[in-house]
Structure 1
Amino acid sequence: MNEKQLSMATLDKQSEDRKRTFKDRKRTNILKSAEQKAISWLVARMPKFVTPDILTGVGLVGSLLVLGGFLMATYVNVTYLLVGIAGLFINWFGDSLDGRIAYYRNIPRKWYGFSLDIIMDWISTILMGFGFLVYIKNEFEIVAFLFVAFYGWAMIISQVRYKITDKYTIDSGLFGPTEVRFIICAVLISEVLFVGSMKWFGVVMCAALFVINLIDTRALLKLGDKRDLAEKAALLNSK
């Protein structure tokens, strides 16, 4: 096999590996291409002893670090918010790789993994939201509550959409969890530089989540109505 044929074979294998790794979900987010390349590179080099469940635990540790960063920023010094950036990266690492490595290794447990992923995502959201609540204080505490509530609403939409369409997606158009993590990192840095800015960023993020959820809910109801009509038509045709 010459060098050109070897290169083509390598590219074909990489393409097959990527298709297998991401075959269970459709992504539409802005960072899709770069993120999938990074995940593909990482899962191919992950030691055998690192299991999907271990990576799920790593993601939870990242969430605890974010919580810890908020608590230390509240009671020690605001610069500890930067610990949250490391926590968000660790959370992305574990949360993004746990299911992907299972598909890469051909050992997926579809419903076990799906159930665990949703539960851990909600726990992570609560932990981060609690840290935000402790840090933000006073009348702006409602912002932390709304952020968790609206993010939970977005999670419910994704699960119901999966039930209706049998296609799982975690993105809302061009934005997904990874983009949200980047935005939160920017907000944490901004708060360290300009103390007090986080509460206003929180208001903007809550407003954006509310609008996005309204749009996604409307689209979801249309999908539900469409499926209802299709099932009714199928029932009438079967008689």
Structure 2
Amino acid sequence: MAYLLGQHSERVDRSFLAASEQKLADVILAALPDSVTPLRLTKVGVIGAVIAAAALVGCRWSPAWLLVFVAGIFLNWLGMALDGPLSRRRKLTHPRLDVIGQSNDMMSQVLLIVMFGASPFLSLQSALVILACYLLFSAYNYVRTIALHARPMTYIGLGPTEFRILMAAWPFIAHASGIDATAPGGAARLDAAILILAAIGVAGLAVKAFSDARQVAAEE
């Protein structure tokens, strides 16, 4: 995802699956032919997001689309998680590639979150609340990366890969629980729960920002 971000980082904030993901990425990268470039992997990630988004809408009519959704999420991970490491592995790092990778990754996540609001698994209200939180966390992530020379942060051990896993798992959980956001009042309790969780998450981010500010002040 990031071609340059974090190459000279001083602080490391690793997610739960970071070590396992790195081992899997190393195996896949070693097997990739020279014809597979970082830019092509980025395109694969975008295509995966589009497929997953279309599948979410398709789930309004048939749960069979769930398998297509998972395939799309996997392609999105494959492209967005491996484009940066492949770039560094082949010493192809360039600011332009960094901008392309970061922008496409963010737009892919925005697309998926919004399309959850068009699926049976989340109401549009909940999807927009999650989107607002995602954009808020992303914005602070970039500010923190620049200010603290730190790698992109995780939140309670959750990074981009964990977030994708949660997205892939939620439709199955919602389907098994009988949640249908397309029915009148079908997700009222879920909406309330998401609002509460969002408030807790934003409060946690505020505490994190205050802690980081104190750290910066102490180092000056």
TM-score range, shorter chain: 0.7 to 0.9
Which of the two has greater helix per residue?
1
Distance 2:102 2:206 in 1: 19
What does the per-residue CA deviation read over 1:4-37, in whole Å, with 9 as the maximum and x for residues that have no partner?
xxxxxxxxxxxxxxxxxx8566351111121110
Identity of aligned residues (%): 21
In our comparison, the structure showing a higher alpha carbon Rg is 1
1 or 2 for the larger relative contact order (CA 8 Å, sep ≥6)? 2
Distance 1:71 1:53 in 2: 28
User: 85, 95, 98: which is aligned to 1:114?
Assistant: 98
Amino acid in the other structure paired with 2:83: D
Match of 1:215 in 2: 204
Alignment length (residue pairs)? 207
What does the per-residue CA deviation read over 1:78-113, in whole Å, with 9 as the maximum and x for residues that have no partner?
33133211111111110100001011112212x333
* Worse-matched range after superposition: 195-204 or 35-44: 195-204
Structure 2, gaps ≥5 residues long: 1-5, 182-186
Distance 1:206 1:46 in 2: 43
Match of 1:94 in 2: 79
Amino acid in the other structure paired with 1:212: G
Match of 1:161 in 2: 144
Structure 1, gaps ≥5 residues long: 1-21, 232-239
- The Cα shift of 1:178 comes to 1.1
Amino acid in the other structure paired with 1:163: I
Amino acid in the other structure paired with 2:14: T
1:170–1:177 CA contact under 8 A, matched in 2: no
**Normalization by structure 2: what TM-score?**
0.82
Note closer, same or farther for the CA distance 1:201–1:163 as it changes in structure 2 (3 Å cut).
same
Note closer, same or farther for the CA distance 1:225–1:115 as it changes in structure 2 (3 Å cut).
farther
Note closer, same or farther for the CA distance 1:116–1:208 as it changes in structure 2 (3 Å cut).
farther
* Worse-matched range after superposition: 146-155 or 172-181: 172-181
- The Cα shift of 1:123 comes to 1.0
Match of 2:3 in 1: none
Amino acid in the other structure paired with 2:84: G
Distance 1:47 1:27 in 2: 31
Over aligned residue pairs, what C-alpha RMSD do you find? 2.6
* Worse-matched range after superposition: 123-132 or 219-228: 219-228
Amino acid in the other structure paired with 1:67: A
- The Cα shift of 1:186 comes to 1.8
